């Protein structure tokens, strides 16, 4: 029988770092690729406040909820922000620029979401049922 090593639960500091990388991808995309954007623009400020609130939960020790929210953040930014919003879809309320420059910013944006996606998925996978430490007594 083949045994696989269990996924290790990421340290909170590693989750903070991955969240910072994810946020930096959002910031670089918004400021460099969208005209007139700053850190105080709603497209950047509101997501920043949401991420800050999730990180406060993580710092308060609410790891299960924070891990799930960080996973949702990473998926939303990867799929919605980096992939779908660059495509000229008729359902979008804007017409995204179709250039190599714009696509390259979306590739960067997507890549910066991957560390958080992987670590948050690990966090959620290791959390187990409510009240569980995620460890098993079986050998």
- Each residue of 5-18: pLDDT tens digit? 566 778 999 999 99
- Each residue of 59-107: pLDDT tens digit? 999 999 999 999 999 999 999 999 998 888 888 777 778 889 889 999 9
CA gap 44, 108 in Å, rounded: 16
> Which has the closest alpha carbon to 126: 44, 68, 57, 46?
68
Give φ, ψ of 61 to 5 degrees.
90, 10
> Which has the closest alpha carbon to 22: 58, 52, 65, 60?
52
Q: Kindly report the CA angle at 103 between 117 and 46, in degrees rounded to 5?
A: 55
Which pTM does this prediction carry? Answer: 0.82
């Amino acid at each position: 029988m083949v045994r696989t090593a269990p996924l290790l639960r990421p340290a909170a500091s590693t989750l903070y770092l991955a969240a910072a990388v994810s946020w930096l991808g959002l910031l670089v995309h918004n400021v460099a690729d969208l005209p007139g954007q700053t850190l105080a623009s709603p497209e950047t400020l509101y997501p920043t406040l949401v991420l800050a609130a999730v990180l406060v939960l993580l710092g308060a020790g609410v790891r299960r909820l924070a891990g799930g929210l960080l996973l949702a953040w990473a998926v939303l930014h990867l799929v919605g922000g980096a992939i779908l919003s660059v495509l000229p879809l008729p359902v979008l309320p804007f017409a995204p620029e179709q250039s190599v420059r714009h696509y390259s910013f979306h590739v960067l944006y997507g890549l910066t979401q991957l560390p958080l996606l992987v670590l948050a998925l690990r966090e959620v996978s290791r959390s187990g049922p409510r009240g569980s430490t995620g460890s098993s007594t079986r050998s």
